[in-house]
Structure 1
Amino acid sequence: MKRIAQFFSLAAVPLLTVSAIAQTTDTTLTSAVTSAATTAAPNAGLTLSGYVEAYYSYDFTAPKTDQERPGFLYNHKRNREVNVNLAFLKAAYAGERVRANLALQVGTYAQYNYAAEQGLLKNVFEANAGVKLSKSRDLWLDAGIFSSHIGFESAISKDCWTLTRSILAENSPYYLSGAKVTYNTGTPDRPNGKWTFVVSVLNGWQRIAKLPGYSGMAISTQVQYRPSSMLTLNWSSFLGSDRPDSLRQGRFFNNLYAIINPAGKFGVILGFDIGADRKPVVQTGSDVRQDGGGSYVWYSPVVIARYKTSDRSYINGRVEYYDDKNGVIIATGTPNGFKTFGYSLGYDYGILPNALLRIEGKLYDSKDAIFSASNGLSKTNTSLTTSLAISF
């Protein structure tokens, strides 16, 4: 504990000395941080904005020579070095019945999470265009590359309740590519904003380019209900595949969450993911069959709570569990697969209305020894992460 406490005080130093690249917004600290500043272009419908998050992570479990965090993580991935998790510049155009977004990114998030994408597409955070289909209703058709509507966390850390992402967020889509129709209830004269409905046709499970050997399209939906400012209920789904056609492995995935009292002194997020992949086809001579029939199932519950300690600060905590015994999403090669609890405790401080400093300690506890350690493999992994997020 003494060692952890000493490092806790030292770990923030590198980030405090990072030069202020931009001005930031933090929707986490709603009372301390205002909306992101934007630079208006000559056309009143065009805005420019940006975001930079620098970080330092220290993995107490991994060998000193190990420069990466565990393989199922994609944010704040580098170990024991100051780096940039995500930085992007964004141009957004909004007209009466048309809209478009283009954001280009760099950082270790893009390096690891977009590793399977082609060339310059790895640097595209967002690129989409949309048209409003109705004069009297909030009904839009958008196409291109856009942030995923699946889940309550995104790659933009300042918009999330915790510094690092939950295991379920790291292992479900952060971005999607395709076309979607979005409808928000109400009319321009009487908007109520209680219901949002989304239907998407996609290239695949977090895919810009289709998976080689997969010819189909995927379908994703979202139903969100906001009866008041104190409660949001959401169900998102994915139906498609992330395997070649020859395996005939369809995927059905569901994400459910409730956000309770988000702007209050004490708030809670309850989340649950569950997915199923059909078992692969096995061909023996002329006999083609499903391997034993049925599906491989994985699931993950998570609870996140935060408490407002001042107009500028919050403390937050998280308890989560991820069960993927068949290694559909996270393969370990161990007898019990990936069965891991996660615990985190963090503190957020809004230095300026647009600058957020965060620190978080995290512990993973797995049924099997799956974490790299100085003496081989360990069932637990402990880390400390600090970050400075700035947007303009």
Structure 2
Amino acid sequence: MKKTVYILLTTICSAFGTPLLAQMSADTTASKSSASLTFSGYVEAYYTHDFTAPKTNQERPGFLYNHKRNREINVNLAFIKAAYTSERIRGNLAIQAGTYAQYNYAAEQPLLRNVFEANAGVKLSKTRDLWLDAGIFTSHIGFESAISKDCWTLTRSLLAENSPYYLSGAKLTYLTPNGKWTLLGSVVNGWQRIAKLPGYTGPAISTQVQYKPNASVLLNWSTFIGSDRPDSLKQSRFFNNFYAILNPNGKISTILGFDIGADRKPIVSGDRRAGSGSYVWYSPVAIVRYSISDAVKLAGRVEYYDDKNGVIIATGTANGFKTWGYSVNFDYFILPNAVFQIEGKVYSSQDAIFESASGLSKTNTSLTTSLAISF
């Protein structure tokens, strides 16, 4: 249920008897009539069964942040959101709970761990769709978000789990009049950080260029330039996120994604010069979805994540994190705002990195189900 409050202010122009006051009244009425305050919410309950992990292991592998708890019914994400919009002003405030917030916001200050979104924006032009927003907002990097109902697969891809879900700072967003291009530039506090990392003075910069030539094609390129290390290490980061969404509303739809990032090597011990070269990680992913009907959808995903130097996912093994992922997903929309999802997934790594009852394993198998509603 969405409750929308419309504010209407009118004056009786004849009581004043001047055309000027009548014009002011008309302008005020037109401006206020477009303002709205909307309340909405989302709740996703889930159960994950990790067939590989020991029975005593209550958590999924460390590189995952959604659907984290193992062999127990829990809430991945629940939030209540208030959104205010008018012709030139907008704002959002969403308060969250669930295991997604517990694990993904663990590095933030305690009072901020329950903030899913908190931002304010103003339209800078009367004739152009140019907005300045500041605060805490969902990340523009990647094609997946923390809201499973809006994703093609129940669980997130490896590249999504290990790139920013949220950012904090200020951003300029411009949508061209024909609606085909979206251009975004932002100054943020860091790589998925509300408060800056101690020892890092920043700030960081993030951009987005999105092109939608028609309803069947969407192309995106997002970047992050900054660091997630203290200044003393002089480890700058340059990250690129590319994806294409093809035929999203058709019978057969496809997402092709590719992330690649590089951290400059740290300074040599006892030498103030920065280390030469960079540590590089990358991740390709392909998702194909088949819509049997508006209510029933099937999806399959193949992905790979290569982080041999442990920049994002540290394993302490000879080959680092080099892992394939395969998953099959079934979605049933019970109602337009209620969906049941089930997904089977297998990870296969070059090194033995997954905990099992008999030690470490090169593979990990899991089954996840969820029931999500929005209102």
| TM-score w.r.t. length of structure 1 | 0.88
The residue that corresponds to 1:100 in the other structure is 91
Question: What is the letter of the counterpart of residue 146 of structure 1?
Answer: F
Say which SS state the counterpart of residue 110 (structure 1) adopts: helix
The residue that corresponds to 1:328 in the other structure is 311
The residue that corresponds to 1:382 in the other structure is 365
Q: Does 2:179 correspond to 1:193? A: yes
Q: 1:240 aligns with which of 213, 218, 226?
A: 226
Q: Does 2:156 correspond to 1:165? A: yes
**8 Å CA contact 1:300, 1:321 repeated in 2:** yes
Say which SS state the counterpart of residue 152 (structure 1) adopts: coil
The residue that corresponds to 2:352 in the other structure is 369
The residue that corresponds to 1:208 in the other structure is 194
Say which SS state the counterpart of residue 246 (structure 1) adopts: helix
Query: By how many angstroms is 1:269 displaced?
Result: 0.1
Question: What is the letter of the counterpart of residue 76 of structure 1?
Answer: H
Question: What is the letter of the counterpart of residue 234 of structure 2?
Answer: R
The residue that corresponds to 1:227 in the other structure is 213
Q: Deviation per CA, 1:159-193, whole angstroms, max 9, x where unpaired?
A: 1000000000000000000000000000xxxxx21
Q: How does 1:314-325 map to 2 (within 5 A)?
A: 314-325=297-308
* Distance (Å, rounded) in 1 between the aligned partners of 2:43 and 2:337: 11
The residue that corresponds to 1:12 in the other structure is none
Q: Deviation per CA, 1:182-210, whole angstroms, max 9, x where unpaired?
A: 00000xxxxx2100000000000000000
* Distance (Å, rounded) in 2 between the aligned partners of 1:310 and 1:90: 30
**8 Å CA contact 1:85, 1:109 repeated in 2:** yes
* Distance (Å, rounded) in 1 between the aligned partners of 2:240 and 2:167: 16
The residue that corresponds to 1:256 in the other structure is 242
Q: Does 2:37 correspond to 1:73? A: no
* Distance (Å, rounded) in 2 between the aligned partners of 1:371 and 1:353: 38
* Distance (Å, rounded) in 2 between the aligned partners of 1:352 and 1:180: 35
Instruction: Work out the number of aligned pairs and report it.
Output: 348
* Distance (Å, rounded) in 1 between the aligned partners of 2:296 and 2:247: 16
* Distance (Å, rounded) in 1 between the aligned partners of 2:208 and 2:307: 24
Say which SS state the counterpart of residue 75 (structure 1) adopts: coil
* Distance (Å, rounded) in 2 between the aligned partners of 1:219 and 1:270: 25
Query: By how many angstroms is 1:42 displaced?
Result: 5.7
* Distance (Å, rounded) in 2 between the aligned partners of 1:260 and 1:219: 28
* Distance (Å, rounded) in 1 between the aligned partners of 2:359 and 2:47: 24
Q: Deviation per CA, 1:210-241, whole angstroms, max 9, x where unpaired?
A: 00000110000000000000000000000000
The residue that corresponds to 1:26 in the other structure is none
What is the root-mean-square deviation in Å for CA atoms of aligned residues? 0.8
**8 Å CA contact 1:54, 1:82 repeated in 2:** yes
Residue segments in structure 2 that go unaligned for 5+ positions in a row: 8-34
Say which SS state the counterpart of residue 120 (structure 1) adopts: helix
Query: By how many angstroms is 1:311 displaced?
Result: 2.4
Say which SS state the counterpart of residue 169 (structure 1) adopts: helix
* Distance (Å, rounded) in 2 between the aligned partners of 1:373 and 1:41: 54
* Distance (Å, rounded) in 1 between the aligned partners of 2:199 and 2:336: 49
* Distance (Å, rounded) in 2 between the aligned partners of 1:207 and 1:288: 27
Q: Does 2:269 correspond to 1:283? A: yes
Q: Which moved more, 1:356-365 or 1:41-50?
A: 41-50
Say which SS state the counterpart of residue 319 (structure 2) adopts: coil
Query: By how many angstroms is 1:290 displaced?
Result: 2.7
Query: By how many angstroms is 1:53 displaced?
Result: 0.3
Say which SS state the counterpart of residue 290 (structure 1) adopts: coil
Say which SS state the counterpart of residue 151 (structure 1) adopts: coil
Q: Deviation per CA, 1:60-110, whole angstroms, max 9, x where unpaired?
A: 000000000000000000000000000000000001100000000000000
Query: By how many angstroms is 1:354 displaced?
Result: 1.2
The residue that corresponds to 2:4 in the other structure is 40
Q: How does 1:4-19 map to 2 (within 5 A)?
A: none
The residue that corresponds to 1:117 in the other structure is 108
Question: What is the letter of the counterpart of residue 364 of structure 1?
Answer: Y
Residue segments in structure 1 that go unaligned for 5+ positions in a row: 1-36, 187-191
* Distance (Å, rounded) in 1 between the aligned partners of 2:195 and 2:71: 33
The residue that corresponds to 1:132 in the other structure is 123
Say which SS state the counterpart of residue 168 (structure 1) adopts: helix
Q: Deviation per CA, 1:299-337, whole angstroms, max 9, x where unpaired?
A: 000000000112211000000000000000000000000
Question: What is the letter of the counterpart of residue 349 of structure 2?
Answer: S
* Distance (Å, rounded) in 1 between the aligned partners of 2:46 and 2:5: 31
Query: By how many angstroms is 1:41 displaced?
Result: 3.3
The residue that corresponds to 1:52 in the other structure is 43
Question: What is the letter of the counterpart of residue 373 of structure 2?
Answer: I
Question: What is the letter of the counterpart of residue 139 of structure 1?
Answer: L
Query: By how many angstroms is 1:38 displaced?
Result: 1.5
Say which SS state the counterpart of residue 289 (structure 1) adopts: coil
Q: Deviation per CA, 1:41-60, whole angstroms, max 9, x where unpaired?
A: 36451000000000000000
